[in-house]
Amino acid sequence: MHAPSPRPAPLLVFDLDGTLADTAPDLISTLRVVLAQEGVPPLPYDEARDMLGAGARALVERGLAAAGRTVPKQRIEELFHAFVAHYGAHVADESRLFPGVAAALDALAAQGFRFAVCTNKLEGLAVQVLEALGVAHRFDAICGQDTFREADGTNIPKPDPRMLAMTVEKAGGRLDRAIMIGDSETDVATARNAGTPVIAVDFGYTTIPVPDLNPDVVISHFDALPAAVAALAKAMA
């Protein structure tokens, strides 16, 4: 009689900005360049940092709102495209992986875990950032807010649970064998909406204290990720 096959290790699905990498310097630099086209003076770094996490269009809109500017929808689209073009040329001028990311991925891969990225960045920019930081090849799927679309062509972004579910599927995993790792209310909500366990880092981009988001586990350094994953994976077994 054959022993039952062991269940596959859960797929680990990472957010990008504020989770895997500190991309704020290049995002904020690009935002300042784009808003200058509207005569907006440079936003304070910490204020702009709190606007990150919902994608480039939302970042432009938030920047304009913070400056008290109201512009037509068509102009917002023009500024959005200007943002994407400028950022695409400067995705990793100052962006860096957070400390411990590479070592954590090495340790987890050695234990049989596989990885994916689920971000509200545009897919092409997400791939570009991860390639520039030397880790794109580590992920079985890199999905952005424009990877999956409704029938009418509109994007399916986080916190819509379908984005997480389809990212997991694209990576060849199963949603009931997946763990989300993020930094924000959006990531925790995405995981909760999908019925997936979630680990949150407390050094990312959120105006709400991470413990108040009630993730399953909070970590303060990637050195703690393997143990956190092991505990959640054991509970899923």
What are the angstrom distances between the C-alpha of 214 and each of 19, 63, 88, 101, 218? 17, 28, 34, 23, 9
CA 75 to chain centre: 27
**Separation CA 141–CA 171 (nearest Å):** 5
Task: Look at residue 226 and give its three-state secondary structure.
Answer: helix
How many alpha carbons lie under 13 Å from residue 66 in its C-beta half-sphere? 21
Q: Which residue is catalytic, options 15, 22, 146, 187?
A: 15
Return the axis-axis angle of helices 56-66 and 24-36, rounded to nearest 10°.
60
Query: Tokens 């930081």 sit at which residue?
Result: 133
Can 15 be counted among the known catalytic residues? Answer: yes
Please state, as a whole number, how many other Cβ atoms lie within 10 Å of the Cβ of residue 56: 24
> Catalytic amino acids?
15
